[in-house]
Amino acid sequence: MRIFILALLFISALHANSTNEKFTNCEVVVLSELTDIVSCHKIDYLIEYKQNDEYKRGEVKKVSVITATSVKVIKQ
């Protein structure tokens, strides 16, 4: 039973490592106090934050995906 659990943990660690490679070459550009652009491969993500007290970032307000041909809001 222990060998099975160890093998399962090892396989899940390998899978997690392979799925994380998609976001290793990303670049973050801070546009303002409440807006960022995250650029990964050929897709850009525009992230807007809600304003808390004294211009501090709060939770994510809106996330838009920007490609060469379209713009789509994925969280509002």
**pTM for this one?**
0.61
Range of the domain at 35: 2-75
Query: Is the separation of the CB atoms in 64 and 73 below 8 Å?
Result: yes
Query: Which tens digit of pLDDT belongs to each residue from 42-56?
Result: 888 988 888 877 667
CA angle 63, 66, 70 (to 5 degrees): 120
Indicate the number of domains in the chain: 1
Report the C-alpha gap between 59 and 75 in whole angstroms. Answer: 12
Query: Which tens digit of pLDDT belongs to each residue from 1-39?
Result: 777 777 777 677 666 655 555 566 788 888 888 889 988
